[in-house]
Every structure is written in structure tokens, then in C-alpha cells.
Structure 1
Amino acid sequence: MQEWLLVALRTLLAIVILFLMTKILGKRQVSQLSFFEYITGITIGSLAAYISLDLDARWYLGIVSLSVWVLFSLGIEFLQIKSKKARDFIESKARVLIKDGKIMEENLKKERITTDELMEELRKKSVFQTANVEFAVMEPSGDINVLLTKENQPLTPKHLGIKVDPEQEPQVVIMDGVVINEPLATIGLNREWLDTELEKIGVAIENVFLGQVDSYGQLYVDLYDDQIKVPKPQNKATLLATLKKCEADLEMFSLSTKAPKAKKMYEECAKELERVIKEVRPLLIQ
């Protein structure tokens, strides 16, 4: 067999073996490499290259070595799952770098991080002043996570005492100009509703690259032609305007009637509706 063909076949074999071994090791090998996993990845890649290019009759020893590395890595991962001491030894512990706005200089030295590097990492988190940091910790992966002080945290409905219902995942109902029926059925809608919504904005299904429906039943579309501007859904704005109109009508009825009982009823209903509008307004103006 010619050498180029032999190298090609061994390369294909190495790719298949490397893919299978990586699948066995799991997604963490790719997404969150620890120090040991980083070494493992480099070594496995080198062994795969050896299997591909070594024309010696003993090339199969590369597969043996590759298998040993993978099995050893699996053993280390299972050991880390079972033992916290093993995790702390292999991956090291998280270390506090800033506490109550004060930089922990000794911990910076232990992690061999300069002040410039720390400030760079903080700026990546949109933090420009250490005094605004309640807590900053360096994770075993090398990432630095930051908790801002209360007064510097973004305002949320919880801070305002507003209870917000959990928002459902937006469902993709059109992809590449084709309607996907299963997500439509999941959110209790049908093809007729979709056709009506598309007709409102004057768009044909075949011209839609991607269509999504949010938890409020609003349809958002992205067209193949980016030059065409599609109006944004107005369902929430329309609902808010309708509620305000109802409130105004109730107030007008209370002013126009001369019957005391009816006047009182209209006033109470107007106040109740005003309270409801105040509660739902943050959701309807997003």
C-alpha cells in the first residue's frame, strides 16, 4: 500500500478514535478544561497525530497509550465526583481576591495575578471601581466572578416588591421558511393563528428565515431580506392602552351618573383597575 494512502487511512482511524474517546470523556473536556484536563487534551491530540503519521509496524501502541490516558482521565473524574479533597487537590480551591471592596493582596500573590490583570478582568465584568465590589473570587477554572454591592446591582422587580411570573422559553415556529407544528401545539396555537399574524405584518411564510413566539403570544420574525423592516408586535402595548381606556371610561361613568350606588361602584372599579395597571405595567412596557 502506498504511503500517502496508508497515512490517509490511519488519519481517518485516528479521527474516529479521538471522537469516540472525547465523547466518553464528556462535554466538560471542551467547555471547562481544568489544568489536568488541559494536559490530557494536549497529550491525546499528540497521540492521535502519532497514530496518523507513524509508519512503523508498531503504530498500534499509540492506540494503547491513548486508551490508557482516557481511562486514567475517567478515573480522575470519578474520583473528583466522589471526593472533595481530591477536587481541591487536582483543581485547587476558589480564592477570594476582593472582599468588602478591599483587595486581598496576599491572595493575588498566591494566584500570581498582577493588579493590572485584576483590573482588566473587572472591566470585562463592567466594573471599573473596586470599592463597588462586595465579593470577587477566582474560580479553579481561572475565571473571576464578581458580586457588586447592593447599591450598585441592577434594579430588578424583586427590589421593587413586584412578583413576576416565570417566563416560558420562546418557541421557534418557523425555520427556513417552513412552519414547525410541534412548538405551535406546545403553546396552544395553530396554523390559522400563525397565518393571521403573518397577514397582519404583510409577510409570506416562505420569506421568513426564523419566526419565534414569546410567552405572551407575540410573533417575532426575521426575514431573508434584511432590508425589509418588519413592525414589532404591539400586543402588549395594545393591551395596556385598552386597560387605560377602560379605567378612563369607568371614571367618566362615575362622573356622569347621579345614582349614588352606581357612582360608588364605578369609582371602586376604576381604583381597582388602576391598581391592576400599576402591577402589570412593568411587564407590558418591556
Structure 2
Amino acid sequence: MPDWLEITLRTLLSVVALFLITKLLGKRQISQLSFFEYITGITIGSLAAYTSLDMEDKWYLGLVALGVWGAVSFGIEFLQIKSKKARNFIDSRGTVLIKEGKVLEDNLKKERISTDELLEKIRGKNAFKVADVEFAVMEPSGDVNVLLTRENLPLTPKHLGIKVGPEQEPQTVIMDGKIMDEPLATIGLNRNWLNCELDKIGVTVENVFLGQVDSYQQLYVDLYDDQIKVPAPKVKATLYASLKKCEADLELFGLATQDEEAKKMYEQCVKELQSILADVKPLLHH
């Protein structure tokens, strides 16, 4: 067999082996790496390259080494899942860098982080002053997480006492001008519904770069032509307005009638509708 063909086949075999091992080890191998995962990644990559280029007869031993490294890494990950002590020993623990707005210089030296690097990392968490940071910790992965002081935390509806409706994962139903049937079926819709919604806003599916449906079955589209403005969905606003109109009509009927029994009935209906409106307002208001 010619050398170029043999190297080609070995390289393809190494790629397949490397892919299978990485697939077995899971997504942690391609995310933030621990000490051991860092060593494993470098070694497995080097072994794969060596196996594809080694011209000796026993090149297949490189695949054996790949398998051993993969098995050891898998065993280490399994041990980390089962044992807190093993996680602390292999990955080490998080290191506190800032506490109550004060930088812990000894911990910075321990992790070999300069002041500039610390400031860069907290700026990445939208903290531009050390005094605004209540707590900052360096995780075993090397990432720095920051807890801002209470007065610097962003406001949320909960802080303001506002109740909001639940939000579920939006489904992408159009991508690159093509309808995605599986996401549509996931939310109990079909192509007929989607085509009707597209007709309402006056666009065709071929002109849609991306289309998503939220948990309230409202369609949001992004067109290839960014100059075309698409009206925002108004399903929730329209429904809320219709309920408010019903409330006003019932109040009007109650004022217009001379029948005391009918008046009481309308007043009771208004109270029940107001209770319903109070419940659905968080769901129908953005």
C-alpha cells in the first residue's frame, strides 16, 4: 500500500477514534476544562496525531493508548460524580477573590491572578467597580462568578411586586425559508395555522429567515430583507382589550336596566370578570 494512502486511512481512523472517545467523555471535554481534563485533551490529541503519522508496523498501539486514556478519563469523571472528596482533590475548590467589596490579595497570589486580570474578569460580569461586588469566586474551571451588592442588582418584576406570566421555550418553526414540521407539532400546530399567520402579516415563508412561536402561540419573524418592517404580534393585547370591552358592556347593561334582579346579575358578572382579568393580566401583558 502506498504511504500516502496508508497515512490517509490511519488519519481517518484516528479522527473516528477521537470523535468516539470525546463523545463518550461528554460535553465537559469541550467546555471549561479542569486540570485533569486539560491534560487528557492534550494527550489524546497528541496520540491521535502520532497514530496517523507513525510509519512503524505497530502503529495500532497508538489506538490502544487512545482507548486507555479514554477509559481512564471516563473512570475519573464517574468517580467525580460519585464522590465529593474526589471532586475536591481532582478539580480543587473555588477560591474567593472578593468578599464584601474587599479584594483578598493572598488568594489572588495563590491563583496567580494579577489585578488587571481580576478587573477584566469582573468587567465581564458587568461589575466595573470592586466596591460594587459583594462576592466573587474563581471556580475550578477558571471562570470567575460575581454577586453584586444588593443595591447594584438589576431590578426584576419580583422586586417591584409585579406578577408576570410563565415563559416557555419558543419553538423555531421557520429556518432559512423552510418550515420545520417537528417544532410545529411539538406545540400542537400545523402548516395551515402557520400559513394563516404569515398571510396576516403579508409575507411568504420563502421570505422568512427565521420564525419562532412563543408559549402563547404568537409568531415572530425575521425577514431576509431587513428594510421591511413586520408588525409585532398583538394576539394577547387584542384578547385583553376584548375582555375589558366585555367588562364595560356588562357595567353599561347594569346601569341601563330597571330590573333589580338583572342589575344584580350584571354586577355579579362584572365582579367575576374583574377577578378573571386580574388573573390573566400578567399572562396577557408583556
State TM-score, norm by structure 2. 0.85
State percent identity of aligned pairs: 72
Asked if the contact 2:165/2:283 (under 8 Å) is kept, the reply is no
1:282 positional shift: 5.5
**Residue of structure 2 equivalent to 1:173:** 173
8 Å contact kept, 2:165–2:282 = no
Task: Provide Cα deviations, 1:191-243, integer angstroms capped at 9, x if missing partner.
Answer: 33322211111112333333221111111122333443322212233234444
Q: 1:233 to 1:112 in 2, by over 3 A?
A: same
Deviation at 1:55, TM superposition (A): 1.0
Residue in structure 2 matched with residue 130 of structure 1 by the alignment: 130
Whether the 8 Å CA contact 1:97–1:108 is kept in 2: the answer is yes
| Structure 1 pair 117–259 and aligned structure 2 pair: CA distance change class (3 A) | farther
Q: Does 1:189 align with 2:207?
A: no
Q: Kindly state the Cα deviation for residue 145 of structure 1 after the two structures are TM-superposed.
A: 0.8
Show the counterpart of 2:112. 112
Shift of 1:115: 1.9
Q: Could you tell me which residue of structure 2 aligns to residue 154 of structure 1?
A: 154
Equivalent residues in 2 for 1:23-172, closer than 5 Å: 23-172=23-172
- Checking the alignment, whether the CA contact within 8 Å between 1:162 and 1:279 is kept in structure 2 is no
Mean Cα deviation higher: 41-50 or 143-152: 143-152
Q: 1:266 to 1:155 in 2, by over 3 A?
A: farther
Deviation string, structure 1 residues 54-81 (Cα, Å, up to 9, x no partner) = 1122322222222222222222222222
Q: Deviations over 1:146-178 (max 9, x none)?
A: 112222222223223344443222122233444
Q: How far off is 1:138 after superposition? A: 0.8
Could you say what secondary structure the match of 1:221 adopts? strand
**Letter of the aligned partner of 1:147 in structure 2?**
L
1:273 to 1:96, Cα distance in 2 relative to 1, 3 A:
farther
Distance apart, 1:139 and its partner CA = 0.4
Match of 1:210 in 2: 210
- Residues 30-49 of structure 1: per-residue CA shift (max 9 Å, x gap): 12311111111111111111
CA RMSD after TM alignment: 2.8
Residue 190 to residue 45, structure 1, CA distance change in 2 (3 Å): closer
What is the rounded CA distance, in whole Å, between the counterparts of 2:55 and 2:236 in structure 1?
68
Kindly tell me the number of residue pairs found equivalent between the two proteins: 286
Q: Does 1:5 align with 2:2?
A: no
Is residue 172–residue 213 contact of structure 2 (8 Å, CA) maintained in 1? yes
1:221 and 2:221 aligned:
yes
Moved more, 137-146 or 240-249: 240-249
Distance (whole Å) between structure 1 residues aligned to residue 276 and residue 98 of structure 2: 43
Unaligned runs of 5+ in 2: none
**AA matched with 2:130:** T
Normalization by structure 1: what TM-score?
A: 0.85
Tell me how far apart the structure 2 counterparts of residues 212 and 99 of structure 1 sit (CA, whole Å). 43
